[in-house]
Amino acid sequence: MKILIINASVRSERSYSRKLTQLFVENWKTKCPSDIFTYRETGIDSIPNIDEGWIAGAFKKTPDRTEENRKALQLSDELIKELKEHDVYVIGVPMYNWSIPSGLKAYIDQIMRINETWKFRSGVPDGDYVGLLENKKAFILSTRGDTGYGENEKNGHVNFQTTYLKHILGIMGITDTTIFSLDNEEFGGEIFENSKNEIFNAIHSIA
C-alpha cells in the first residue's frame, strides 16, 4: 500500500501533530514494512493560494485550456495525481483558532477540483456531489489546546477543524475516516500527559 503523510503544523520539533504522524508511521512500519510512505508538507513549506488564473483554468474543459491555464494548474495537477496514487491519507493537523492552518486550507483549495476529485451527479450545480477518490482510507491526527470538541460537547459548536476536514474528505469520496485527537495541550501537566498516553495507545493499536 502507499500512504501519504500530510503535515500541516508551522512548527517543527515542538509540533505534537508531527509527533503523532511520526508515531503513526513507526507503528505502521512494524506491521507493514513493505508499504511505501510519501510526505507532503503544507505547514513549513507553503502551498500557494489559488488565484484568478487557477479558477479560469479549473472550470474549463481540458481540451479548451490554454498554455496559461495549464501552467496555473500545474501544482494542482501534481497534488491530485499524488492523491490518486495513494491508498491511505494521514493528516497531522493542529487546531489554529478553532480551525485548520492556512497552509492546509490552501492545499485543500488546490485539490478540490471539479471533475478531478469531485463532480455534480447531474452535471449541473445542484449541490449533489459525487466523490471521485474511491477506495481510500483517511486518518486525521489532530491536536488541540482545549478539550470537549466532540459532537454535543462543550466546544463542539466551534470545532471547525476535524468536522470540516471530514466533510471535505467526504465530498471527494473518502468516507472511511478515523479521527484521533490529542487534547489539553495548553493545560500541560498531568491532564495533558493523560491525553498523550490515551492517543499514543490508540495509534499503537491500529491494525
- What CATH number corresponds to the domain at position 88? 3.40.50.360
Q: Are strands 118-120 and 137-143 parallel, antiparallel or unpaired?
A: unpaired
Among 162, 172, 119, 164, which Cα is nearest to 142's?
Answer: 162
The per-residue pLDDT for 104 is: 98
% of the chain beyond a pLDDT of 70: 100
Q: What is the CA radius of gyration of the chain?
A: 18
* Per-residue model confidence (pLDDT) at position 125: 85
pTM surpassing 0.85?
yes
Q: How confident is the model at residue 46 (pLDDT cuts 50, 70, 90)?
A: confident
Whole-number pLDDT of residue 188: 82
Average of per-residue pLDDT across 36-58: 96
Q: With a cut of 90, say whether residue 62 has pLDDT above it.
A: yes
Average pLDDT score, the chain: 95
Q: Which of 106-110, 114-118, 168-172, 189-193 has the lowest mean pLDDT?
A: 189-193
Question: Which phi and psi angles does 147 have, rounded to 5°?
Answer: -140, 180
Of the pLDDT bands very low, low, confident and very high (cuts 50, 70, 90), residue 159 is very high
Does pLDDT of 84 surpass 90? yes
pLDDT at 207: 67
- Tens digits of residue pLDDT in 131-143: 999 999 999 999 9
Q: How far is CA 76 from the centre of its chain?
A: 15
Q: What is the pLDDT of residue 186?
A: 81
**Quick one: CA dihedral 118, 123, 129, 133, positive or negative?**
negative
Maximum mean pLDDT: which of 12-16, 169-173, 203-207: 169-173
Torsions phi, psi for 35 (to 5 deg): -70, 160
3-state helix, strand, coil in the chain (%, to 5): 40, 20, 40
Alpha-carbon gap, residue 207 to 192, rounded angstroms = 25
Q: How many CB atoms lie within 10 A of CB 183?
A: 24
Query: Residue 118 has what pLDDT?
Result: 97
> What single DSSP character describes residue 14?
T
With a pLDDT cut of 90, the percent of the chain lying above it is: 85
Tens of pLDDT, residues 113-132: 999 999 998 888 888 899 99
For residue 79, pLDDT over 80 is answered with yes
Q: What is the DSSP string of 55-84?
A: HHHHTS-GGG--HHHHHHTHHHHHHHHHHH
Q: How many domains does the chain have?
A: 1
203: which residues sit within 8 A by CB, 6+ positions away?
Answer: 20, 23, 24, 27, 141, 180
Full domain range(s) for residue 70: 2-204
Cβ neighbours of 80 (radius 10 Å) = 20
For 68, other C-beta atoms within 10 Å of its C-beta total 11
* Residues whose CB falls within 8 Å of the CB of residue 46, separated by 6 or more in sequence, listed in order: 103, 106
